[in-house]
Structure 1
Amino acid sequence: MSKTISHPFLDGRPKRLLIGGEWIEAASGETFDVFNPSTGEVIATVARGGAEDIDRAVAAARAAFEGPWSEWKPFDRQTLMLKIADAIEREFDDLGRLETLDMGAPVARTSLFKRWMLQTLRYYAAQAVSIKGEVLENSVPGSFFSYTVKDPVGVVGGIIPWNGPLITQLWSICPTLATGCTLVLKPAEEAPLSALRLAEIMMEAGLPAGVINIVPGPGHTAGAALAAHPDVDKIAFTGSTATGRKIVEASASNMKTVAVELGGKSPDIVFDDADLDIAIPGAAMACFNNTGQVCYAGTRLFVQRGIHDAFVERLGAFAKTLRVGDATDPQTQLGPLASQAQLDRVNGYLAIAESEGARIVSGGGRPAGAAEGGYYVEPTVVADVSNSMRIAREEIFGPVVSVIPFDTEADAIALANDTDYGLGGGLWTSDVGRAHRVSRKIRTGMVWINCYGVTDPSIPYGSAKMSGYGVKGGPGHIEEYLYKKTVWLRTG
């Protein structure tokens, strides 16, 4: 482990799996290293979970679900969630910095997560005491009373990606606790540390053994075992479309319910009547935020032809002003990519872009002065792109925006929808009528107008087409962790 890293959680001791309230080694005894993306240095060693560990974690989750946890009342679950929120509020500085060291998000970005995490936990805590069924009038001859209740689905398998685990894990943890389900969470190998530390915080706040279990490990072993496990009742997956297909196929083993948030190649449309002083930085950060490692990033930037050339020039100039560097530096705006594999992927797509005739306007290289060993790439603006090129069709997951011209409103809508994906989308215009027309015609789960990437845990968002299905946020998210039961009572 690098001696240059100072963090209370990174104490040199290997990190273990959390199963049934106990911190244990992987059944295989294997471990893997976790790297600081800013420097490439090893900062921790973590137990590598596998299929046997998933079996143990699911058994622990099942025992908890059918045991004392099932007797907890909504108020008790709400109280626990509020205690967890209070604990996170106290511990957040170290928790946020751990995320920075683990996956490379700048401290300027992770510091913003505090409000979001607290809001999310406290919102779902309110939902815990708001679950209700219905009394339904029936027309059966005789005297019968009919009503519905909503019960927790059972054991949930949560599989989260590496591009923002500190907040992504709450999309599984919060509805699990609010509804009375139990959870086996598999964080990605590239960034498992914030999930392990948050589990410690939850246990200290009074989380019962087995309610939340954490098993970091490879997707092809631990993730596959969780997706196919016959005693898991629901899978909540965030990740690539290719893996999502496998998750859905595996769910058929016992007809699990599934929610999958998958890849994106989101359109961002700039009309010639847009306020460019807002649209240029807004469209840039729609792609570059989190170093482009956001599933709904606005990576296909459609600009109306009359302003296209000037827009591209100003966009490139803006990209050059962004400070790229060590994620622990408070002045850093864009950190490194999360891994060497991701850096290789982004560089590979830049080579493909040039081979297809696209032109790199700015960026595309390693930032001057970047730390040796870090996984850095400059924010990159690519012009002379057509919507048929690979960089406009395939998810790059890096700070690479492809600028594509269009002529009319109808052209913009057709180009925006000419993709397999349907996660996010945006448009920039001063015409209110156009804003409503275009937003209704773009086939995506989210649309932002004169802004991009705004989210709130109380506001639902979903997906369309190959970007998956299921809801995150809002009361509908809670409903996906419950099933409706109808009860008939003969009263006479």
Structure 2
Amino acid sequence: MSRTLDALVGEALATGTIAGLPDGHFIDGRLVPSQSGAGMESWDPGRGAVFAAFAAGEAADVDAAVDAARRALKGRWRDLRPAERGRILQRAAALIRENAARLAVAESLDSGKRLSEALGDVAGAARCFDYYAGACDKLQGDTMPLGRDHLGMTVHEPVGVAAQIIPWNYPISTAARGLAPALAAGCAVVAKPAEQTPFTALMLAALLDEAGLPDGVCNVVTGTGRAAGAPLVAHPGVDHVTFTGSVATGIGVMQAAAPNVTQVVLELGGKSPVLVFGDCDVESALSGVMEAIYENAGQICSAGSRLVIERGLRDAFLARLVERVERLTLGHGLTNPGMGPVSSAAHLARIDGMVSAAVGRGARLHAGGFVVERPDLGRGWFYAPTIVEPAAGSDAIVQDEVFGPVLAVQTFDTEEEALALANGTPYGLVAGVYTGDFGRAHRLARDIDAGQIYINEYFAGGIEMPFGGNRLSGFGREKGLEGLRSYSRVKSIAARIARPA
């Protein structure tokens, strides 16, 4: 029986860790050490201290995982009826819920995120497996009208071995949204979680094993991107790569996959605008803007990192927003503060450098703009929630992804100007629109170049809604039935059925 949440939190706060975290790769149904014997340390961002160790994988470990996955594709997994695949995924969802406390505490320790956010992510992961469990026997083909003498039809086949490169900001969420549809489609998987946050992917693989997934169908190799991720995406035994991460690394993934003509789905960065019009519900917009940028300390690819606001509402809205920002408390994720730490000392320095450079170019600070160092925060990596108004729309603080709790403010006078500002960066992941004008909301939803539009609620929707970006934000779609189709290939079958003349 899983331990209670309070007991696990108490253990983690008292000792700095929780017992029994996995320390090997999960390959062919069991935990195994790296073939080199090497290991790595994982850091708790809230303390700025090591809390656990794990296996440091290399090409040999990747080879073993891919070999296991390819064998599994030819074994019992291939012969399971889709409905039985669905039952395994349904059992996995139930096991995730049974182990939610342990998964959430591990996630909070590993990533630094608030416990409430981690619990929400775990619940979302379970829902993801629920959703795709129900879709396993719905991935059906079509028939084509070729006339009385011929039969034309299509069938969906699993694409093969699917590699998953999982980022550090949403480890269990991103793992689930890749693993669940890949397994539902009948693929085998090799996942490589970020070296900063390896544990919940390993724990998820163990739960899938407990749910009845055949050995080798789900494998997890831990380690750095250079040592483990690069050989995985370049492996000739991999048929599909789903990558979530930075633009620069995504380009490298495409280049590495190209010699094997491996299909790729890329979910990259964002600089997403939240458009706020004077006729909006102000309370709803204030809450939406706060959540859009300060959840997970702004470390979200789809964060609403640009407030694009109508001039007539600007001053009053900003004054109230600053009040809310200044009331946000900081602390270790397990204490459920208003906002937790950022992921690493290096990332903290990068955020601070970008904000300081913008101020040096003439940007105005409305709130924050500094590294927070307090005795009660120890050596944790904290950045003050920040609102900055750049001197120009071309400024790097508007154009480049900060990936932290930093909101850039831009002002408009007309709907046309709002649209131009919304589309005024190289990214196109999501956008939010707050307005009481139904027609305006849908004109903007039509014309904003982004993969997903939120109207009068940021982060609206769920696993049912396809997610992905345009332009530098990547291509392909995850979640929803579109995500399921990413892991299948269509075969056309045409037959002459007329009797010989």
Residue 361 of structure 2 is aligned to residue 356 of structure 1: yes
Three-state SS of the structure 2 residue aligned to 1:457 is coil
Q: Which residue of 2 aligns with 1:472?
A: 478
Q: Describe the superposition over 1:71-99 as per-residue Cα deviations: whole angstroms up to 9, x where unpaired.
A: 11111101111111111111111111110
Q: Which residue of 1 aligns with 2:191?
A: 185
Q: Which residue of 1 aligns with 2:38?
A: 30
Residue 454 of structure 2 is aligned to residue 435 of structure 1: no
2:175 to 153, 162, 169: 169
1:64 to 72, 97, 112: 72
Query: Deviation of residue 468 (structure 1)?
Result: 0.7
Structure 1 runs not aligned, ≥5 long: none
Query: Deviation of residue 206 (structure 1)?
Result: 1.7
1:401 to 396, 407, 410: 407
Query: Deviation of residue 412 (structure 1)?
Result: 0.8
Residue 44 of structure 2 is aligned to residue 39 of structure 1: no
Residue 243 of structure 2 is aligned to residue 237 of structure 1: yes
Three-state SS of the structure 1 residue aligned to 2:411 is strand
2:146 to 130, 138, 142: 138
TM-score w.r.t. the length of structure 1 is 0.95
Distance 2:92 2:334 in 1: 26
Residue 60 of structure 2 is aligned to residue 49 of structure 1: no
Three-state SS of the structure 2 residue aligned to 1:279 is helix
Q: Describe the superposition over 1:322-357 as per-residue Cα deviations: whole angstroms up to 9, x where unpaired.
A: 121110113x12111111121111111111111111
Three-state SS of the structure 2 residue aligned to 1:252 is helix
Q: Which residue of 1 aligns with 2:93?
A: 85
Distance 1:276 1:187 in 2: 39
Matches within 5 A, 1:333-482: 333-365=338-370, 366=372, 368-482=374-488
Distance 2:136 2:390 in 1: 51
Distance 2:219 2:409 in 1: 44
Distance 1:9 1:392 in 2: 44
Distance 1:399 1:458 in 2: 28
Distance 1:306 1:28 in 2: 63
Query: Deviation of residue 301 (structure 1)?
Result: 1.1
Q: CA RMSD in A?
A: 1.7
Distance 1:242 1:119 in 2: 31
Distance 1:211 1:410 in 2: 51
Query: Deviation of residue 284 (structure 1)?
Result: 2.2
The one-letter code of the counterpart of 1:414 is A
2:270 to 260, 264, 272: 264
TM-score w.r.t. the length of structure 2 is 0.94
Q: Which residue of 1 aligns with 2:208?
A: 202
Matches within 5 A, 1:289-328: 289-328=295-334
Query: Deviation of residue 368 (structure 1)?
Result: 4.6
Q: Describe the superposition over 1:1-31 as per-residue Cα deviations: whole angstroms up to 9, x where unpaired.
A: 9972252434xxx700111123111122221
Structure 2 runs not aligned, ≥5 long: 1-11
Q: Which residue of 1 aligns with 2:3?
A: none
Query: Deviation of residue 449 (structure 1)?
Result: 1.3
Asked whether the equivalents of residues 351 and 404 of structure 2 are also in contact (C-alpha less than 8 Å), the reply is yes
Distance 2:287 2:95 in 1: 36
Change (3 A) 1:384 1:154: closer
Asked whether the equivalents of residues 370 and 376 of structure 1 are also in contact (C-alpha less than 8 Å), the reply is no
Asked whether the equivalents of residues 358 and 390 of structure 2 are also in contact (C-alpha less than 8 Å), the reply is no
Query: Deviation of residue 460 (structure 1)?
Result: 1.4
Asked whether the equivalents of residues 312 and 383 of structure 1 are also in contact (C-alpha less than 8 Å), the reply is no
Asked whether the equivalents of residues 2 and 43 of structure 1 are also in contact (C-alpha less than 8 Å), the reply is no
Distance 1:55 1:419 in 2: 40
Distance 1:50 1:387 in 2: 43
Three-state SS of the structure 2 residue aligned to 1:427 is strand
Query: Deviation of residue 369 (structure 1)?
Result: 5.0
Asked whether the equivalents of residues 122 and 173 of structure 2 are also in contact (C-alpha less than 8 Å), the reply is no
Residue 136 of structure 2 is aligned to residue 128 of structure 1: yes
Q: Describe the superposition over 1:377-402 as per-residue Cα deviations: whole angstroms up to 9, x where unpaired.
A: 11111124421111111111000001
Change (3 A) 1:201 1:90: same
Residue 286 of structure 2 is aligned to residue 275 of structure 1: no
Query: Deviation of residue 367 (structure 1)?
Result: 6.1
Query: Deviation of residue 462 (structure 1)?
Result: 2.4
Q: Describe the superposition over 1:378-432 as per-residue Cα deviations: whole angstroms up to 9, x where unpaired.
A: 1111124421111111111000001111121111111110111000111111112
Q: Describe the superposition over 1:15-50 as per-residue Cα deviations: whole angstroms up to 9, x where unpaired.
A: 001111231111222211001111012111111111
Distance 2:388 2:210 in 1: 49
Query: Deviation of residue 226 (structure 1)?
Result: 1.3
Q: Describe the superposition over 1:357-378 as per-residue Cα deviations: whole angstroms up to 9, x where unpaired.
A: 1122111231655421111111
Residue 164 of structure 2 is aligned to residue 153 of structure 1: no
Distance 1:370 1:454 in 2: 35
Distance 2:391 2:119 in 1: 36
Three-state SS of the structure 2 residue aligned to 1:283 is helix
Asked whether the equivalents of residues 27 and 52 of structure 1 are also in contact (C-alpha less than 8 Å), the reply is yes
Distance 1:345 1:455 in 2: 32
Distance 1:360 1:349 in 2: 13
Change (3 A) 1:165 1:22: same
Residue range with higher mean Cα deviation, 277-286 or 85-94: 277-286
Distance 2:376 2:496 in 1: 74
Distance 2:197 2:365 in 1: 31
Asked whether the equivalents of residues 421 and 464 of structure 1 are also in contact (C-alpha less than 8 Å), the reply is yes
Distance 2:74 2:164 in 1: 19
Three-state SS of the structure 2 residue aligned to 1:253 is helix
The one-letter code of the counterpart of 1:323 is T
Three-state SS of the structure 2 residue aligned to 1:175 is helix
Change (3 A) 1:30 1:469: same
